[in-house]
Amino acid sequence: MADLIFYIFAAFTAGSALAVVLTKNTVAAALALLLCLVGVAGIFVLLDAFLLAALMVFVYAGAVVALFLFIVMLLDVQGGVRKPFKKATIVSSVFAFILLLLGLASFAHKGVQTTGDLGAAAPVGATLKSYGEQLFTTYLLPVQIVGFLLLIAMLGVIVLSKKFEGLEDIK
């Protein structure tokens, strides 16, 4: 049963990821990205990472996709004529796609030695307590660095989106 659910979610995720790439409409691409992230959250649930699945839906599907849709609305990029893809672009990107896929798949195929049964290891990621323990002991310094990074990113966004009308030398 769990296998069937995995394959359903995997096909759903890969299909909506392909839709992100292949659809012409930017809004449709953002919505396909939303579906893809929900599929990935389902995969996380199958891997017993419930907190990460919830975070995936909140942070990515909630904040990031909403931000993308907001920017699409702000920029209004649908107007104007758009040239179709060049044949050389299509051929070379499909070729690179196949090469990368084969490389990664052979990496996964040859590299994994274990039989990989889900019952073999205890589901350590299932409880909130283990996350808190790790984040506040082993990974305390990275947590603070990431917090500082968020502050810097916020300041950067404010500076980038501010119009410097009084300052001529900025331009």
Partner 1 sequence: MTVGLNEYLYLSAVLFAIGFFGVLLRKNTLVIYMCLELMLVASTVALVAFSRFNGTMDGNVFVFFILTVAAAEVAVGLAIIVALFRRRQTIQVEELNALKN
Which residues between 77 and 116 bind partner 1 (CB under 8 A)? Answer: 77, 82-83, 85, 89-90, 92-94, 96-97, 100-101, 104-105, 107-109, 112, 114-116
* 131 near partner 1, rule: CB under 8 A: yes
Q: List the alpha helices (DSSP H) in 47-169.
A: 50-55, 65-75, 87-111, 128-136, 140-161
Nearest residue (CB) to partner 1, 75 versus 169: 75
- Positive or negative, the CA dihedral 117, 119, 120, 126 is positive
**Does residue 57 interact with partner 1 by CB under 8 A?**
no
CB 43 within 8 A of CB 12: no
Nearest residue to 37 via CA among 69, 65, 18, 66: 65
Cα(36)–Cα(15) distance, integer angstroms: 8
Instruction: Examine residue 140 and tell whether it contacts partner 1 (CB under 8 A).
Output: no
13-32 residues near partner 1, rule: CB under 8 A: 13-14, 17-18, 20-21, 26, 29-30
Rg (CA), the chain: 21
Q: How far is the CB of 44 from partner 1 (least distance, A)?
A: 6
Number of amino acids touching partner 1 (CB under 8 A) = 84
63 binds partner 1 (CB under 8 A): yes
38 is a site residue for partner 1 (CB under 8 A): no
Contact call for residue 50 and partner 1 (CB under 8 A): no
CB 125 within 8 A of CB 47: yes
Name the minimum Å distance from CB 169 to partner 1: 16
Least Å distance, CB 167 to partner 1, is 15
Contact flag: residue 71 with partner 1 (CB under 8 A): yes
The Cα–Cα gap between 156 and 69 comes to 21
Cα 40 to Cα 32: distance, rounded to the nearest angstrom: 12
1: contact with partner 1 by CB under 8 A: no
